[in-house]
Amino acid sequence: MIAQLRVDDRLIHGQVALVWTKELDTPGIVVANDNAANNEMVQMTLKMATPTGKKLLIRSVDDAIKVFNNPKGKGMRMFALTNNVSDALKIAQNVSDIDGINVANVGRFADKSEGETHQVGSTLMLSDKELAALKELTKLDVPVFQQVVPSNPKSSIASMLKNK
Amino acid sequence: MNKILIASHGHLASGVQSSLEILTGMGNKVTVIDAYVDDHDYVPDIKKFIDELDGQTGIIFTDLFGGSVNQKVMLEVADHENVFVITGTNLPIVLSVVLEGEEITKAKLEELIAASQVQLVEEPKDDTDLSDDSFLE
């Protein structure tokens, strides 16, 4: 089961990964990202960022969905990461066992040539496509919130999207 | 959260604060002293931080062991057993302490310091890719 699906454009990074895996008590981290699944250098950097004692799996989004739906993983608490909202939406639409979706940091390093970006809170810069995906995400039957670190309060994404 | 002061020669302290803000959004949770960037006497700022602890646990980070900032801090924390002083400060140790949810003890600090050392970066030796099955075991 996915204890938390986190959207973070930096995927796994430093102490933040350490704090979240501790907070969520997740022995396994799954990075669901097509680029990372095909790029050995990116895989190396993600391995370096993985806290000691945690298992890491790097898969394309489609292959990650198979892992999340594998009956063997039912009792295993997993911390899942994507680096964009569209990938998170695809996972949420195809996996039923998700405790919560944390849309933490998105789009600050994205290609600005893709047209207008929409600022939602201080750490979300969304393209039209990403904004539409985020709206879809809030319609699903799973809590969608923003919480950069565990000591921050959870902010509801639905309320952040009002008037957008 | 634990009360934290970072004091440095020059802008290291506010630089660490800037990194903290970007990584955790908690830059405003630490007090900083950038010493010697102007004529401002920073010793009263150290005193104020310690006074405002009002007996609670505080952690002061300095940049260099034996440096003048560290010396000034040591003079002020004398007789305050509720204040820990850490020197040779780097970003990992500040992050670890900022993100530590429980009240800091000496044993906890020693554990966090041991995990925050500068290190030579080498490619991970364990290059085995897990299969789905071995991951889910």
Mutate: best of A41, A57, A105, partner B, most B CBs <10 A: A57
A35 vs A42: CA distance, rounded Å:
8
All residues at 6 or more sequence positions from B95 whose CB lies less than 8 Å from its CB, including other chains = A14, A15, B20, B23, B24
| A151/B135 touch (CB, cutoff 8 Å), yes or no | no
Domains of chain A by residue range: 2-160
| Domains of chain B with bracketed CATH | 3-117 (3.40.50.510)
Size of interface A-B (CB pairs under 8 A): 55
Does residue A6 surpass a pLDDT of 70?
Answer: yes
- Per-residue pLDDT at A133: 96
> Is residue B112 left, alpha or beta, with left meaning phi > 0 and alpha meaning psi from -120 to 50?
alpha
B122 touches A: beta carbon within 8 Å: no
Each residue of A138-153: pLDDT tens digit? 999 999 999 988 878 8
Looking at beta carbons, which residues of chain B come within 8 Å of A43? 129
| B92/A151 touch (CB, cutoff 8 Å), yes or no | no
User: If 0-12 CB within 10 Å is exposed, 13-18 middle and 19+ buried, where does residue B64 land?
Assistant: middle
Does residue A113 surpass a pLDDT of 70?
Answer: no
Each residue of A58-76: pLDDT tens digit? 999 999 999 999 999 999 9
A151 touches B: beta carbon within 8 Å: yes
- Per-residue pLDDT at B86: 98
User: How far does the CA of residue B133 sit from the closest CA of chain A (Å)?
Assistant: 8
| A48/B95 touch (CB, cutoff 8 Å), yes or no | no
A31 vs A38: CA distance, rounded Å:
12
B55 touches A: beta carbon within 8 Å: no
CATH of A2-160, one of 3.40.47.10, 1.10.3720.10, 3.40.50.2300, 3.40.35.10: 3.40.35.10
User: How far does the CA of residue A163 sit from the closest CA of chain B (Å)?
Assistant: 25
B132 touches A: beta carbon within 8 Å: yes
Active site residues of A: 13
The continuous run of DSSP H or E covering A30 comes out as: strand A28-32
Q: Where are the alpha helices (DSSP H) in B25-122?
A: 43-53, 68-77, 91-99, 106-114
pLDDT band with cut points at 50, 70 and 90 for residue A114: low
Eight-class DSSP state of B101: -
Of A121, A3, A159, A57, whose CA–CA distance to B133 is shortest? A57
Does residue B101 surpass a pLDDT of 90?
Answer: no
pLDDT band with cut points at 50, 70 and 90 for residue B124: low
